[in-house]
Structure 1
Amino acid sequence: MILSNKKFDYEHIWHPYSSMINPIPCYTVVSAKGVYLKLHNGKKVIDGMSSWWSAIHGYNHPILNKALRKQIKKMSHVMFGGITHPSAIALCKDLIFLTPKKLDCIFLSDSGSIAIEVAMKMLIQYWQALGEKRNSFLTIRHGYHGDTFAAMSISDPENSMHKMYNTFLPKNFFAQSPVSSFHGKWNENDLASFIEIIEKKQTQIAGVIVEPIVQGVGGMRFYHPTYLKKIKILCDLHSIPLIFDEIATGFGRTGKFFAFEHADVVPDILCLGKAITGGTITLAATISSRNIANTISSSKAGCFMHGPTYMGNPLACAVAQANIKILKTNNWKIQVANIEQQLLKNLLPLLNHPNVIDVRILGGIGVVECIRSINISLIQKFFIKNKIWIRPFKNLIYLVPPYIINSKELTQLIDVVKESMHNNAFFI
């Protein structure tokens, strides 16, 4: 018996955070261009998710496609062990130029989760080189850093999707997340939990890791920039390196090129991913200070012990360089500012809706927090019917559209979200 493609997918292919017994329905996309995804039936839907924050310039961008074609004629891949190539060198030059002067040494990998793992391994080796055994990390609750094991261990142990793995994961330290919102008044009490842990456990802490300003999958919360400034001061006071996870927020999403710029602080290690290639192919980077890199390199091991097969992939590096070339024109600043203004004008009024707890907006991010959990299958069917693509989770509907979206297209996204709030069948 020959199964249809849809039935084969349903019976044999695992999708993210989905069941093999009762999977969430999948919609077949056959092509994509600009902000539109074209479905198998010919219907075009506006993508409000930028393929999970990554396709910031939309799909099939001519400059990105040209970079891929040019590189693939030379080579699609070559090992990075003992070999280098022009695409990796050019990309790393760009990253050094874009990031603060303190961040000087780049480790390329193939996904955001791995960039986090790399950063954590760096600091474990860093302390070993200094003659100390420090294997724990300090972070804040409501965080999310990826699906691999070390990354899961620093994601919220109670409120994240990884709770079921807690018995296996290493134990880290979790301070209470700040309640002072990005646009609200700073409350000094937000620091109390963090101060208590860093003072009591400082000799055990290898590093502090946070998502700067925006906590993503942990609840789409935007916290006050002062919190970031204060924890940087505390890390410096206790000589504990600070890691910023900018995988979701890097490359302009919050209205600044990096979210940490809202607080005017610099980490000791920076993790990048998602939008680094403009959503074309997977790539990530972990960028450390020279001090951390040199300390690791002078250790007994004599090197950093990590090396992915696809590290420094030439295709990914070439298209990432092209993506940065687009960003250097600075059109993204106007695009993101326009998205923010329209979200403030048209999405923010949902604050008064009886099904809504809160509406949060920052740069090119719009979040609607609902009172009840959302029936994902049912609401996505409604979204598709109304020619938009949004992927809610838990009780959150959030928009992170491509920067190139125009006012009419964004209006359609917002209007359909507004309409969905009136249907109680969409809430569990």
Structure 2
Amino acid sequence: MADTRPTPAAAPHWLTDGYEHIWLPYTQMQTTPLPAAIARTHGCKLILEDGRELVDAVASWWTAAHGYNHPHIRDAVARQLETMPHVMLGGLAHEQAYKLAARLAALAPGDLTRVFFSESGSVSVEIAMKMAVQYWINKGEKGRAQFVSFTGGYHGDTFATMSVCDPEEGMHSLFAGLLAEQIITDLPTTADREQAFDALLETRRGDIAAVVMEPLVQGAGGMIMHPPETLAFIRAACDRHGVLLILDEIFTGFGRTGTLFACEQANVVPDIMTLSKALTGGTLPLAATLARQHVFDAFLSDKGDTALMHGPTYMGNALGCAAANAALDLFEHDPPGPRVAAIEAQLRRELEPARALPGVRDVRVKGAIGAIDLHPHTDHDWMKAEFIARGVWNRPFGHIVYTTPPLVISPAELMQITSAMVGVVRDWGTRHTQEA
């Protein structure tokens, strides 16, 4: 079959040569255009090989909270590289991992005082699920191996995490018959749903290990938002029925919703919490699974088989931990709350005009998250090209055009993003109407 992909005339040779061998994420490789070739990054911008600059509207999948090439993070990684890039965490110790564990325990709400490191967000959720199941096994309740999660939820692409994602979101439907059967239900955002959720936990308590959810905002499921009261209700219901609560703060953590952790807005402490994304300021892969003391205590005994038998090869990587410690320095020196409040106000003001455009179903804003919800059949490749033409990098998904900018973005850069979003959606609506 002939290759019909559009190819930029001046694409660098490393891109065209390497494209014959690379396999890209979430991509139909037969039809997708060549990706934008990035030469370097700076601040909130991506600089293309041809010299054009793009304001990054999505902070590289929500990771670059402090912008790119921040000197404090860069210098910390460089210093660590000179002394020790990595040693195994099994039987050896190094300062950066132990220092980071203590700092995360101090920053996290409540008694989330034990930190287990891994390399990716999906794996950190798998570890949380494994902890929850073994917690009950160690306490003598071996039948509690199922999880409750919610429609609209997304927790990763590995096998265990796929099983707690919304089965209707499309990416994982091919694996339906192979995945563990979990309990997927609606978020209890109404009185009827609260009653149904409470009844579910009561009747299935003996089967359930934990409830797994994203607090306040379901990210990859469509930037679906719920109030803190919903989270507080879920925590109370878990307490009433003796069920663990796992909060996936991989997207919402580190200031994205306005507080350092989203669960703080509901005064909720989960039993287990997962972190990644902005943990290293978008520099190196690192994730963490935090457990409360009572969860950790269930693994303590004189018997070796009650220990958590898990150990990613690069867990607690010294370079990643150095980057994370530097990123935490920045959060502590300049707490993100005021900056996120200013970003939220600007997003509300500048995205609101999109609500009246053809094809728009909703406009949603929470903290440094802004989303325009469209009717289906969105042309993602066309939209990405239109954003680039406007000097913005954005990657819509499903029927959502969104922004999760770096938390250090300037008002002028943010206005460039919001203007592009409204403009692209306006042009998409006109184009969609003409084609219909």
Distance 1:312 1:147 in 2: 22
**Could you give the per-residue CA deviations for residues 352-374 of structure 1, whole angstroms, max 9, x where no partner exists?**
21221000001100000012332
Tell me the CA shift for residue 303 of structure 1: 1.3
- Kindly indicate whether the alpha-carbon contact (under 8 Å) linking 2:125 and 2:248 is maintained by their aligned counterparts in 1: yes
Distance 2:414 2:420 in 1: 10
Tell me the CA shift for residue 349 of structure 1: 2.2
Tell me the CA shift for residue 13 of structure 1: 1.0
- Kindly indicate whether the alpha-carbon contact (under 8 Å) linking 1:137 and 1:173 is maintained by their aligned counterparts in 2: yes
Distance 2:23 2:153 in 1: 25
Q: Which residue does 2:4 correspond to in 1? A: none
Whether 2:157 is the aligned partner of 1:150: answer no
Distance 1:426 1:103 in 2: 50
Q: How does 1:298-377 map to 2 (within 5 A)?
A: 298=301, 301-377=305-381
- Which residue, 267, 272, 276 being the options, matches 1:273? 276
Distance 2:211 2:360 in 1: 34
Q: Which residue does 1:246 correspond to in 2? A: 249
Q: Which residue does 1:380 correspond to in 2? A: 384
Q: Which residue does 2:9 correspond to in 1? A: none
Q: Which residue does 1:20 correspond to in 2? A: 29
- Kindly indicate whether the alpha-carbon contact (under 8 Å) linking 1:173 and 1:197 is maintained by their aligned counterparts in 2: no
Tell me the CA shift for residue 197 of structure 1: 1.8
Tell me the CA shift for residue 375 of structure 1: 0.6
Whether 2:218 is the aligned partner of 1:215: answer yes
Tell me the CA shift for residue 41 of structure 1: 0.6
Q: Which residue does 1:161 correspond to in 2? A: 171
Tell me the CA shift for residue 24 of structure 1: 4.4
**Could you give the per-residue CA deviations for residues 255-297 of structure 1, whole angstroms, max 9, x where no partner exists?**
1111111111110001000000000001000000111112123
Any idea what SS the aligned residue of 2:30 has?
coil
Tell me the CA shift for residue 192 of structure 1: 3.1
Tell me the CA shift for residue 300 of structure 1: 5.5
**Could you give the per-residue CA deviations for residues 215-240 of structure 1, whole angstroms, max 9, x where no partner exists?**
01112111121111111111111111
Whether 2:261 is the aligned partner of 1:258: answer yes
Distance 1:56 1:21 in 2: 33
Letter of the 1:416 partner, please give it.
Answer: A
Tell me the CA shift for residue 160 of structure 1: 4.1
- Kindly indicate whether the alpha-carbon contact (under 8 Å) linking 1:142 and 1:159 is maintained by their aligned counterparts in 2: yes
Q: How does 1:130-145 map to 2 (within 5 A)?
A: 130-133=139-142, 134-145=144-155
- Kindly indicate whether the alpha-carbon contact (under 8 Å) linking 1:144 and 1:160 is maintained by their aligned counterparts in 2: no
Whether 2:290 is the aligned partner of 1:283: answer no
Q: Which residue does 1:36 correspond to in 2? A: 45
Letter of the 2:38 partner, please give it.
Answer: V
Letter of the 2:368 partner, please give it.
Answer: G
**Could you give the per-residue CA deviations for residues 173-226 of structure 1, whole angstroms, max 9, x where no partner exists?**
011134x4xxxxxx3223133223212211000111110110011121111211
**Could you give the per-residue CA deviations for residues 53-101 of structure 1, whole angstroms, max 9, x where no partner exists?**
1000100000000100110011111100001110011111110110123
Distance 1:23 1:168 in 2: 29
4+ residue segments displaced more than 4 Å: 425-428
Cα pair distance change 1:25/1:376, threshold 3 Å = farther
- Kindly indicate whether the alpha-carbon contact (under 8 Å) linking 1:243 and 1:269 is maintained by their aligned counterparts in 2: yes
Distance 2:92 2:399 in 1: 48
Any idea what SS the aligned residue of 2:133 has?
helix
When structure 1 is superposed on structure 2, of 92-101 and 37-46 the one drifting more is 92-101
Whether 2:207 is the aligned partner of 1:204: answer yes
Tell me the CA shift for residue 7 of structure 1: 2.2
Tell me the CA shift for residue 419 of structure 1: 1.0
Distance 2:196 2:181 in 1: 17
Q: Percent identity?
A: 40
Q: Which residue does 2:180 correspond to in 1? A: 170
Tell me the CA shift for residue 11 of structure 1: 2.5
Whether 2:94 is the aligned partner of 1:85: answer yes
Letter of the 2:90 partner, please give it.
Answer: G
Tell me the CA shift for residue 23 of structure 1: 2.6
CA RMSD of aligned residues (A): 1.5
Whether 2:77 is the aligned partner of 1:68: answer yes
TM-score, structure 1 length as denominator? 0.95
Q: Which residue does 1:184 correspond to in 2? A: none
When structure 1 is superposed on structure 2, of 366-375 and 6-15 the one drifting more is 6-15
- In structure 2, stretches of 5+ residues that fail to align are 1-11
When structure 1 is superposed on structure 2, of 159-168 and 319-328 the one drifting more is 159-168
Cα pair distance change 1:278/1:320, threshold 3 Å = same
Tell me the CA shift for residue 330 of structure 1: 3.0
Whether 2:64 is the aligned partner of 1:55: answer yes
Any idea what SS the aligned residue of 2:68 has?
coil
TM-score, structure 2 length as denominator? 0.93
Q: Which residue does 1:8 correspond to in 2? A: 17
Tell me the CA shift for residue 331 of structure 1: 4.3
Q: Which residue does 1:183 correspond to in 2? A: none
**Could you give the per-residue CA deviations for residues 102-158 of structure 1, whole angstroms, max 9, x where no partner exists?**
211110110100100000001111111112222110111110000111111100112
Any idea what SS the aligned residue of 2:264 has?
helix
Q: Which residue does 2:403 correspond to in 1? A: 399
Any idea what SS the aligned residue of 1:422 has?
helix
Any idea what SS the aligned residue of 2:426 has?
coil
Q: How many residues align?
A: 419
Cα pair distance change 1:287/1:331, threshold 3 Å = closer
Distance 2:225 2:29 in 1: 34
Cα pair distance change 1:52/1:332, threshold 3 Å = same
Letter of the 1:350 partner, please give it.
Answer: A
Distance 2:84 2:274 in 1: 27
- Kindly indicate whether the alpha-carbon contact (under 8 Å) linking 2:147 and 2:164 is maintained by their aligned counterparts in 1: yes
- Kindly indicate whether the alpha-carbon contact (under 8 Å) linking 1:58 and 1:402 is maintained by their aligned counterparts in 2: yes
Distance 1:14 1:193 in 2: 43
- Kindly indicate whether the alpha-carbon contact (under 8 Å) linking 2:259 and 2:336 is maintained by their aligned counterparts in 1: no
Letter of the 1:144 partner, please give it.
Answer: Y
Distance 2:156 2:70 in 1: 28
Any idea what SS the aligned residue of 1:138 has?
strand
